[in-house]
Amino acid sequence: EDQVTQSPEALRLQEGESSSLNCSYTVSGLRGLFWYRQDPGKGPEFLFTLYSAGEEKEKERLKATLTKKESFLHITAPKPEDSATYLCAVRGSNDYKLSFGAGTTVTVRA
């Protein structure tokens, strides 16, 4: 069974203080690792898809990287508007569904 574990559960940052979120996974034949952002009271918003180890993708202050066992979401010089819950999900080769982690809630203080 596919499993996704995200750490830490919560992260409090000062504006400008860079940090990383971790997503550890076990999956049979990775067909994609997905990062989403979720604001309070809203649905998840798609950020990135990573397909193979060594792949990296960037969007504004966010950068996602992938190894064979984990993915990192790096937040560089965060701003208060980066405050959100970040969700990680995987899809295995023998499966139709995404398996989600419980998320990391990031709070950025001005």
Tokens 């970040």, residue?
86
Q: Does 78 bind other proteins (CB under 8 A)?
A: no
Q: How far is the CB of 17 from other proteins (least distance, A)?
A: 26
What is the identity of the amino acid at 110?
A
How far is residue 83 from each of residues 4, 5, 29, 69, 105, measured CA to CA in Å? 22, 20, 32, 26, 8
Scan residues 21-60 and list those touching other proteins (CB under 8 A): 31-32, 34, 36, 41-46, 49, 51
Q: Which window, 17-25, 59-67, 75-83, 88-96, contacts other proteins (CB under 8 A)?
A: 88-96
Tokens 């701003």, residue?
79
The encoded tokens of residue 35 equal: 């990062």
- The number of residues that bind other proteins (CB under 8 A) is 23
Sole binder of other proteins in the list 87, 92, 106, 108 (CB under 8 A): 87
Q: Are strands 19-26 and 70-75 parallel, antiparallel or unpaired?
A: antiparallel
Residues forming the site for other proteins (CB under 8 A) = 4, 31-32, 34, 36, 41-46, 49, 51, 87, 89, 91, 96-98, 100-103
